[in-house]
Amino acid sequence: MGIFDKLRNEFIDIIEWTDPSADTIVWKFPRYQNEIKMNAKLTVRESQVAVFMNEGKIADVFQPGMYTLTTQNMPVLSTLQGWKYGFNSPFKADVFFVSMRQFTNQKWGTKNPVMLRDAEFGPLRLRAFGSYAFRVKDAGEFLKEVAATNPEFTVEGINEQLRNLAVSRGMEAIAEAKIPVLDLAANYEEVSGLITGKIGAEFNELGLELTKFLIENISLPPEVEAALDKRSSIGIVGNLGAYAQFQAANSMEKAAENPSGGGLAAAGLGAGMGAAMMGQVGNIFQNNNNQPPNAGGGAPPPLPTAAPFFVAVDGKQTGPFDLDQLRQLAAAGSLNAQTLVWKTGMAAWSAASTVPELVPVLATVPPPLP
């Protein structure tokens, strides 16, 4: 018999596990054919438990600490082995160490877009991804339901199943929350809480505990995001008519820097296109808002001015006038309660007394002398 055969046949008197990895959940103590010596020393470190298994059945579970193995601190195994009280011979048992620490930064994400219905945009396809953390809650349950008798079980052995749970139940929770797509980013914490509550029970069935669930991003398909970007751009531009005027003014300014005739021609073309665009956009907005046309089939020329009101004087259109100028007209007698006025946005010419903005102006005019 060689020296190694002799060592192999010795009784085991020290049982411990120093975990060098970051992803091992279960590790089986390599007993081989050796017997565990009664009064052997068992060391269970923090964030570990040791599970003794006899003939496929879970016997005793040891929490962190140092133990001298005797029949007194192994009551279940003693019963299974049928030892009499005080019987101190070596015994055989499988010893599994289970890591109870948190396994963090586990990734989850949708492999394919998930179809959801949004109140504002209708049916949409969403992608989502994030991370989660878990740990073993019940070592015995986890061994029975998942790890079985594998000599070593790592996070990768169960990660796929946990990811599928996260995606399936997670997207279901997002749909049930009925949070508008554009508001999801502001409600990641709320949605994460809903998902945690939904899948936590299923983790518990495996002897696990979901300790953290985070959403890092929920995104739309690229073509939908591009359409939203265009919509946002229009909102930032605001008044498209004023924007067209600004573009035309820029064209004229650039052309003035070029003394050639081509530059002046380009400036005229730019100004003409800006005016045409402004008129077309104005007509579109007017039709979209279902506003009736102005009396006479047309509107006063949209001169680029901040003065809002036009005034009919002796049957002729005058203006535009700001409020200070209107007060002067009222004081001079050219503007009274029956005078017809008009400004952008009004359907037709109306008496000044019917326009709320002009009531204070008319109130400053003294009544006629008796």
Identify whether 368 is part of a domain.
Answer: no
Instruction: Answer for the pair 311, 337: CB distance below 8 angstroms, yes or no.
Output: no
Position 315 scores a pLDDT of 81
pTM of the entire structure?
A: 0.57
Alpha helix (H) ranges present in 110-187? Answer: 139-142, 156-177
Max Cα–Cα distance, the chain, nearest Å: 140
Other Cβ atoms less than 10 A from the Cβ of 157: the count is 15
Q: Do 255 and 272 belong together in one domain? A: yes
Task: Give, for 346, the enclosing helix (H) or strand (E).
Answer: none
Task: Give, for 334, the enclosing helix (H) or strand (E).
Answer: none
Identify whether 166 is part of a domain.
Answer: yes
Q: Do 15 and 121 belong together in one domain? A: no
Identify whether 304 is part of a domain.
Answer: no
The backbone torsions φ and ψ at residue 225, rounded to the nearest 5 degrees and listed phi first, read -60, -40
Position 306 scores a pLDDT of 44
Structural domain boundaries, residue 140: 103-222
The string of pLDDT tens digits covering residues 217-229 is 888 878 877 877 7
Q: Do 92 and 114 belong together in one domain? A: no
DSSP helix/strand/coil, 225: helix
Q: Do 112 and 92 belong together in one domain? A: no
Structure-token pair, residue 305: 């001015």
Q: Do 159 and 124 belong together in one domain? A: yes
Identify whether 295 is part of a domain.
Answer: no
Is beta strand 65-68 parallel, antiparallel or unpaired with respect to 36-44? antiparallel
Identify whether 320 is part of a domain.
Answer: yes
Q: Do 131 and 58 belong together in one domain? A: no
Q: Do 107 and 216 belong together in one domain? A: yes
What CATH number should be reported for the domain holding residue 218? 3.30.479.30
Instruction: Answer for the pair 96, 29: CB distance below 8 angstroms, yes or no.
Output: yes
The string of pLDDT tens digits covering residues 11-54 is 778 999 998 888 999 999 987 666 888 888 999 999 999 999 88
What CATH number should be reported for the domain holding residue 324? 3.30.1490
Identify whether 348 is part of a domain.
Answer: yes
Instruction: Answer for the pair 15, 31: CB distance below 8 angstroms, yes or no.
Output: no
pLDDT band at 166 (very low <50, low <70, confident <90, very high): confident
Q: Do 94 and 107 belong together in one domain? A: no
How big is the chain, counted in residues?
Answer: 370
Q: Please give the tally of structural domains in the chain.
A: 4
Q: Do 133 and 173 belong together in one domain? A: yes
Structure-token pair, residue 20: 């060098």
Q: Do 167 and 199 belong together in one domain? A: yes
Is beta strand 36-44 parallel, antiparallel or unpaired with respect to 24-28? unpaired
Q: Do 84 and 161 belong together in one domain? A: no
Identify whether 112 is part of a domain.
Answer: yes
The string of pLDDT tens digits covering residues 254-301 is 766 665 545 444 444 444 555 555 555 455 445 555 555 454 455 665
Q: Do 95 and 107 belong together in one domain? A: no
The percent of residues above 70 in pLDDT, for the chain, comes to 73
Structure-token pair, residue 53: 């298994």
DSSP helix/strand/coil, 358: helix
Alpha helix (H) ranges present in the chain? Answer: 3-8, 75-81, 139-142, 156-177, 188-205, 222-237, 240-256, 261-288, 323-332, 359-363
The string of pLDDT tens digits covering residues 295-345 is 445 566 555 544 578 888 888 888 888 888 888 888 888 888 888 988 888
